Structure formats: C-alpha cells, structure tokens
Chain A
Amino acid sequence: MTAGGFWNRFLVPGALWLVLLFLVPLLFVLALSFGYVDDLGRAVYATDLDNYADAFNPTYFPILLRSVLYALATTVLCLLIGYPVAYYIARFGGRYRNALIALLVLPFFINYLVRTYAWVALLADEGLINDALVNIGIIGEPIQMINTPYAVIGGLTYGYLIFMILPVYGSLERLDPAVIEAGKDLYGSRLQTFLHVTLPQTKQGILAGAVLVFLPSVGDFVSAQILGGVDTYMVGNLIQDQFFAANNWPFGAALTVVMMLFLAIWMIAYLRSAARDVRGAAI
C-alpha cells in the first residue's frame, strides 16, 4: 500500500461520522424549512416559502434582530472586559501567567445553567444585591434587574467571556515586548503606542474572539429564559418553542436557516482563517 493510502484511512471514521451525523442532518434542516405541518400535526416536506415569509413578518423579525443586537452588545462587552485582563496577564503575569489563565478558565467548566442560575439569586428583586443596597440605604426600593435586557446581555457576557480572553491572550503572548518598547520610542505616548502597535498586532486574536463570542450568543436561549422574560425573547427561545411547545418543526427549521444566514459571513471568515492556520491556535 502507498503511504498516501495508509494515512487516508485515518480520515475515514471521523469524516464519515461528521458527514452522516452533522452535514446530512443540517441538510435535513434546510429541506424541512420549506415544508409545512399537515392537519394531523405531522411535519411534511414541500417547497413552500411560507415559513420564510413568516420569519420576516413583524411578529418574529424583531426577535431575530434583537438576538443579533444582544449578541453584538455581548461581543463588545466581552472585548472591553476581556482585553485588559488578557493584556494584564500577558504582560505583567510573569511566572504566574499560566496559573492566572487557569484560574480564569476554571469557572467556564461549571455548568452554564448553574452559572446563569447563580445570577438569579444575586439579581432578583429580593436577591443579594438588592438586599444589600436597601440595607445600606443606597436605594429605598429594590431595583428591577432581572427580566431586563441588561440581565440577559450580562448573562451572555458571563457565559462567553472566556472565548474572547483566550484568543486575545494568545495573540498578546506572541507579541514581542521589544516591539512595544520600540513603539514607545517611536510614538512617545502610551495611547499612541497601543493604538499603532499593540492593537493592530492583536487584530487576529480580537477577530477570533469576536466570532467565538458572537456565534454562540446569537443562538443562545438559556440566558434569555432564566434571566429574561417575554420582552427579551431571543431567536433561540423561538426556535426551541417550535420544536417543543408549538410543534411546528418546519417553521423552527426555517428560523434556524435564517439565523445561520445572519451568521454565515462570520462563520466563513472564521473557517477561512482557521483552515489556513493549521495549528488551529484560535480555538
């Protein structure tokens, strides 16, 4: 057997598994999105565009838009919070760098539901934060924090922050400190050095982080369910409803396809850079 034939065999199980259980099912979702529900409540394949018309009608389209806005806000927040922390660890962490990153990663191995639920106890009208603020006398009445867009976006930020920090940290760590020193000599001010030297050099990390935060945020339904209310419904909640409550799978499939179209540019951009980077360091 040739060497080539030998190595190809290693690809077969994984490639076959992903084609049959990932790619083909995705095509089924696409196919069903053109279908409808018959009188007996069964999903039927067809070639209708009705579901897509529904997805863009005034009842549902705002929910799609809201999901994208929440996810964008989450991405910006993650960058604003994550970049300085990654920067601090990469430049000033010294020999504690690995330990500091490990400590940062730790909370993300705790169940996402439990972490989101944790915020309920803190933010509720009779939660710890309101209690403390009332007791100190800063506020007279509890402030409504739960069931607000802020709570949902905060929950998403808390959930996905690490996906921003790790790639940004990776790109900062690769950055030679001498380059920053040279930048200081050249530009003088710290801000100028940061804007002209550090920031451009870490662009790849920021983009990877933005994609890795944005994509799961758009499809999330946990944060909106636990920390939000009907007014903060996201497309994930809507899709999930079609499969479990409304029993309208074709419409759920169409919403999924529309959501994927919203995400397509980001996904393709990320896949292109990740496919080029054989090490896949941007995970």
Chain B
Amino acid sequence: MDAHGFDKPRFLRLFAVAVYFFLFAPILVVILFSFNSIKSLNVFDGFSLQWYEEFFNDPTLRDSLFMSIEIAFLTMLAATVIGTALAIGLVRSRARWAPGANILMLVPLVVPEIVAGISALLIFSQVGIALSFWTVVIAHITFSISYVTIVVRARMASISQEVEEAAMDLGATRWQSVRLVLVPALWPAVLAAGLLVFAFSFDDFVLSFFTTGEESQPLPVRIWSAIRFQVSPTINAIGTLMMIVSLSAIALAVLLPRLFGRRESGLKVLTAQEG
C-alpha cells in the first residue's frame, strides 16, 4: 500500500471517518430515541417499547405498513419481468427503433421524481382512474423498470451469445435457449435488481404521495403527514421498522446472488460493475 503520495492517507482517513459519522449519526439518533421511555427527542430517559406498541395498536398505521409491503412486492415482480425482457431486447435486438427504446429507458433516471409523480397523477385523472392502491403500483413500476434494465444489462454484457447458439445447435429452440441458458445466467442480477426495486418502492415517498388515494396510504405518506403536525418518538419507531424491512431486502440482494452466482457478490451486481 502506498503510504506517501498526494493522498496523505492519515488526513484522508480522518476525513472519511468524519463522513461516515455524518452519515450514521442521525440514523443512530432516530433508532435510539425510538426506545425512549418519555416523549422527548433530546432527553433519553430510559428504555421502553411503548412507541412500537403504539404503532402496532394503531390499525391505520399497521395497514399502511402492510400496504407498503404489498406495493413493493407487486412492483418488484412486474418491474423485474418487464425490465429484464427490456434489457435482453436492448442488447440483442437490431431493430431500428431499439436506440429510441434505450433513450426512453434512461429518461426516468434523470427526470426528478416530482415530475414523474405529477405526470402519473395527471394521466390517471385524465383517463378517469380513481387514485388507489393500484395507481401507486403502476407509478412505481414505471419508475423501477429502468433500474432493473440497467443492472441486468450490465450483466448481459459479460455473457457471450455463443452459449445460446451452442444450445440451439444441440436442438433447443430459440425460446428454450433463452429460458434454459440466458435466464439462469442472468439470474443473480435479476434477483439483486428485484430486491433493489423492492427497497426503492417500499421507501418511496414522492411517487406514492402523488398517486395514492385518500383512504389507504402507504407508510411514507403517513410519515409525511405525521412529521408536518408533530415530532414524536412514534415516527422514530416507524422509521426504525422501515429500516429493518428495507435493509433486509438489501441484505438479501447482496447475499442471495452469491448462492446462485459463482463467487460474485451481489454488491458488484448492484453497482453494475463489470465481472
């Protein structure tokens, strides 16, 4: 390791440690005060689970939690199938309009979420679809397809078409070669992308905010209303519970592909690095 360079590792290390602290301190504070025995966010009086009890005793909040999980699950399924197909098509198709599809796929990544939220709200109201659970799911799928496509396509780049051709030489149909050769090879990336989408969808606030109905609302929308009216340890408890759900999805996204893939980490798949 180079210990002299411009880089002055000692100073850099100190700086990096400070940044990690800056990133984690607020989160640790949220978790800590979710266990506070008094209703305070600056004096920790003692350990208690009362804010969690309050959360689970509130049927509206409980429903919102389950609703968020259902939305994330459906979004994950649909976006993974559509996004994977799109990735395969973008790499293999020679259609004249394929580059157009490529650009179209990239646009959602650069458009601020509020724009996507507004356009979804507008189209639903123009077509006459009442806002509901399903409008949230549709909006989430629209925004998630591109993530799946990017992650899966990065994986496609490292797969040679020759293996499929070999399968076809051995008598497989074109469709069988996709199902039996290509898809299994893509599986680690598909799985990781799906779980990533689950976490995105579960945490998403902006799209849900614009596309959800009045009666049932996803958890982040409830947090939004709660934060505006009061600051309470219940919000800390909800936040901590949400962390557990999304971090579980991410942990699976990193670990599961290892079981399927040879020795690559899900992290590499997720950050779309080569290999």
A interface residues (Cβ-Cβ under 8 A, vs B):
1, 3-4, 6-15, 17-19, 21-26, 28-29, 32, 81, 84-85, 87-89, 91-92, 94, 98, 101-104, 106-107, 109-115, 117-122, 124, 126-128, 131, 158, 161, 166, 170, 173, 177, 180, 184, 189-191, 193-194, 198, 211, 215-216, 218-222, 225-226, 236, 239-240, 243, 249, 252-253, 256, 259-260, 263, 266-267, 270-271, 274-275, 278-281, 283
Contact = CB atoms under 8 A, between A and B. Distances in A.
A113 B220 contact: yes
B20 A17 contact: no
Contacts of B82: 13-14, 17
15 contacts: A7-B92, A11-B95, A13-B81, A17-B82, A25-B122, A81-B19, A111-B205, A119-B26, A158-B26, A161-B23, A240-B114, A259-B115, A279-B157, A280-B153, A281-B274
A120 B203 contact: no
Contact of A121 (B30, B89, B90, B109): B30
Per DSSP, are chain A's interface residues mostly helix, strand or loop, or mixed? helix
Categorize the interface residue count of chain B: 35 or more
B224 interface: yes
Contacts of A281: 154, 272-274
B123 A21 contact: yes
B85 A10 contact: yes
Interface string B221-263: 0011001100100010011001100110110001000000000
A91 B20 contact: no
A11 B89 contact: yes
A22 B107 contact: yes
Given A9-B89, A88-B12, A28 B108 contact: no
A10 B86 CA distance: 6
Contacts of A112: 203, 205
Among A88, A222, A275, chain B packs the most CB atoms within 10 A around the CB of A88
A280 B116 CA distance: 21
Contacts of B116: 22
B221 to A, nearest CB: 9
Interface stretch (B47-55, B59-67, B97-105): B97-105
A120 B30 CA distance: 10
A173 B106 CA distance: 24
Interface in B105-145: 105-116, 118-123, 126, 138-139, 141-142, 145
B93 interface: yes
Contact of A113 (B42, B83, B92, B227): B227
Contacts of B115: 26, 29, 219, 256, 259-260
A4 B98 CA distance: 11
A272 to B, nearest CB: 9
Contacts of A19: 104
Nearest to B88: A10
Contact of B108 (A11, A18, A98): A18
Contact of A24 (B26, B123, B239): B123
Contacts of A4: 93-95
B110 A219 contact: no
Contact of A14 (B27, B145, B228, B247): B145
B13 A15 contact: no
B120 A21 contact: yes
A144 B248 CA distance: 37
A14 B174 contact: no
B85 A111 contact: no
Interface in B19-69: 19-20, 22-27, 29-30, 33, 41-42
Contacts of A107: 23-24, 27
A112 B4 CA distance: 39
A132 to B, nearest CB: 9
Contact of B85 (A13, A161, A236): A13
Nearest to B92: A7
A111 to B, nearest CB: 5
B37 to A, nearest CB: 16
B122 A28 contact: yes
Given A84-B16, A118-B26, A283 B89 contact: no
A211 B110 contact: yes
Contact of B6 (A21, A81, A194): A194
A88 B15 contact: yes
Given A91-B7, A92-B7, A17 B93 contact: no
Nearest to B199: A109
A7 B107 CA distance: 22
Among B29, B41, B111, B118, chain A packs the most CB atoms within 10 A around the CB of B118
Contacts of B227: 113, 117, 120, 226
Contacts of B6: 184, 189-191, 193-194, 198
Contacts of A118: 26-27, 29-30, 239
B106 A271 contact: yes
Given A28-B123, A274-B109, 11 more contacts: A7-B89, A10-B85, A15-B104, A22-B142, A98-B265, A109-B199, A111-B243, A118-B239, A124-B41, A216-B112, A270-B110
